[in-house]
A and B are shown apart, each in its own frame.
Chain A
Amino acid sequence: MNKTKRSRFGIAAVFLVALVLFGVFYSGDYVLHVGVLVMINVVLASSLRLINLSGQLSLAHGGFVTLGAYASAVLLTKVGMSSTWLALLISAVLAAVIAVVIGIPFTRLKGIYFTITGIFFVQVIVLTVQQWRSITGGNGGLQGVPRPDSILGIEFASKTSFFMLAIVLMVVSLVILWAIERSRIGMTFLGIKQADSLAESIGINTTVYKVAAFAIGGFFAGLMGGFYVQYVSAVDPTVFGFLPTIYMLIYVIVGGEDSFLGPMVGAALLTILPEVARPLQSWMPLLFAAILMVIIFLLPEGLVGLPHRLVGLLKKRTKEQPDATS
């Protein structure tokens, strides 16, 4: 490990310990609840970014979250599955399988056309759960989804316990996503993103990799859907519909698409923002759009680029100062 790598790892470890300690010692239910939502959105944004890494701007993500949420809800309330953990796993795997099935035709399309199919997919999923009342409960959704079974003697009832579970799921998800990005697979994704036809001509099977990126992203989206429904114990068709999908993309861009940290920062800040700005609730979509535009125009590398920019500004100032005095 070189120095920057080590210091990055160190910062991440310190941050993680702080997060755990916070969960242990802080007991305000509301703040812990927001914390869980932040962590769900961090995983959603990071997994969406992994799909973008392969050069595909996906707007299908909400569809996979909805699929995962309903898979767990239906399995646990209608089918009578007894293990919540198995249901959670099925949520993720089902979303990944569906991602492969629709990915094979969708990923043949490039650029904006691929993106449009994602919007279509989210709408199809939302309409399906709205109409298929016998299974999904229609517009009312499903309630009374059981909370996760106790594991290693830990009961999942308090906000603190969910906060801890969210930490575990988030950390595991992020480590896997990070490992994929740093592997040969991640490099191949980047190659496809930068020069699709060239990647093909050097013998990369671009279809396989594009579908794989889509499916990996779908897996974590489904996982978070399953976790969400077992946490709030209810789901309705539009919690992860079109607008939330757009939000996920905004998290990625506002935080900074080019860095692994970016979507995490974007998701955290933009999940907390609506909570601290409650009175502006109905203006939120407008506010998000405004933030997105400001970032695109003034800080295209995203919020993670801000420290670098500030340092640059400071240096410029200190350089100019002697000139001014002389």
Chain B
Amino acid sequence: MLLELRDVSVYYGTAMAVTDISLKQEEGSIVSVIGANGAGKSTILKSINGLVSIHSGTIEFDGKRIDGSGTDAIVKAGIACVPESRKLFPYMTVQSNLRLGAYLRKDKQGIQEDLERVFTLFPRLKERLKQKAGSLSGGEQQMLAIGRALMSKPRLLMMDEPSLGLAPIVIDTLADTILEINRGGVSVLLVEQNAGLVSRVAQDCYVIEVGRIVLEGDIKDMMSNDSVRRAFLG
């Protein structure tokens, strides 16, 4: 098991954000967490990333516990995150954004190779290398956010609502991109509201509602079950 959450609960102050979340992901797979706004999807990613501390439960990555470690240690261990609304360093160039993605790495050779790999995936970024990140279009910013995350050479790439605010045609390209990244050997944990995107890329799917997992299984089975689809997937 690459990633395993056992009974993870997170509080913000006294408010419970997520309760008893258990989730498993095999190496090389694409797993998805699906749910409405405020259901606690981002909180799960933040807890894996070490950005919020968990109240109870355990998080294991590659058999080692990572809950309680600092974010830098977690990134080093091989987890990268594309945060919600594709956050970038807006006044820095595309190039600097990518370089900062490799912040914790020292292997110059490997960084250069990964930079080339990102350019193969997103040729557009190479054209815009010297441009400020904030001046890119929405789709290009998403590419850069993903490219930056890949620069840390992750084994697990977490994406927080990558489809948000993108045109349907761009979402199609996004699905292809996710599959291509996965083919390169990177496991993907995809948090989404867009069931269409999820059903195109993921197999295992967890449905979350007000901080609890209410359903888990194969996304295709869920989509073909009318009552489930209407209740949870919109």
Contact = CB atoms under 8 A, between A and B. Distances in A.
Interface of A: 187-188, 190-191, 194-195, 197-205
Contacts of B70: 205
B121 interface: no
A194 B97 CA distance: 11
Interface of B: 49, 51, 70-72, 74-76, 80-81, 83, 87-92, 96, 100-101, 103-104, 148-149, 152
A194 to B, nearest CB: 4
A238 to B, nearest CB: 38
A137 to B, nearest CB: 46
Nearest to B91: A194
Contacts of B91: 190, 194
Given A197-B83, A201-B75, 8 more contacts: A194-B91, A198-B83, A202-B80, A202-B149, A203-B103, A204-B100, A205-B71, A205-B72
Given A190-B92, A194-B91, A195-B90, A202 B100 contact: yes
Contacts of A200: 51, 71
Instruction: Give the interface SS of chain A, mostly helix, strand, loop or mixed.
Output: helix
24 contacts: A187-B100, A190-B92, A191-B100, A194-B90, A194-B92, A195-B88, A195-B90, A197-B51, A198-B83, A198-B87, A198-B88, A199-B100, A200-B71, A201-B71, A202-B100, A202-B148, A203-B71, A203-B75, A203-B76, A203-B103, A203-B104, A204-B72, A205-B70, A205-B72
Contacts of B100: 187-188, 191, 199, 202, 204
A256 to B, nearest CB: 15
A200 B80 CA distance: 11
Find the residue from B49, B72, B88 having the highest chain A CB count within 10 A: B72
A182 to B, nearest CB: 13
Nearest to B145: A198
A98 B152 CA distance: 35
Contacts of B152: 202-203
A191 B89 CA distance: 6
A199 B97 CA distance: 10
A263 to B, nearest CB: 19
A202 B101 contact: yes
- Counting from the closest, the 9 A-B pairs by CB-CB distance are A203-B75, A203-B72, A198-B87, A194-B89, A203-B104, A201-B81, A191-B89, A195-B87, A195-B89
A199 B81 CA distance: 11
B72 A187 contact: no
A119 B1 CA distance: 52
Given A200-B51, A202-B101, A190 B87 contact: no
Contacts of A201: 49, 51, 71, 75, 81, 83
Nearest to A192: B89
Contacts of A197: 51, 83, 87
Contacts of A191: 89, 92, 100
A190 B89 CA distance: 9
Find the residue from B49, B51, B89, B91 having the highest chain A CB count within 10 A: B89
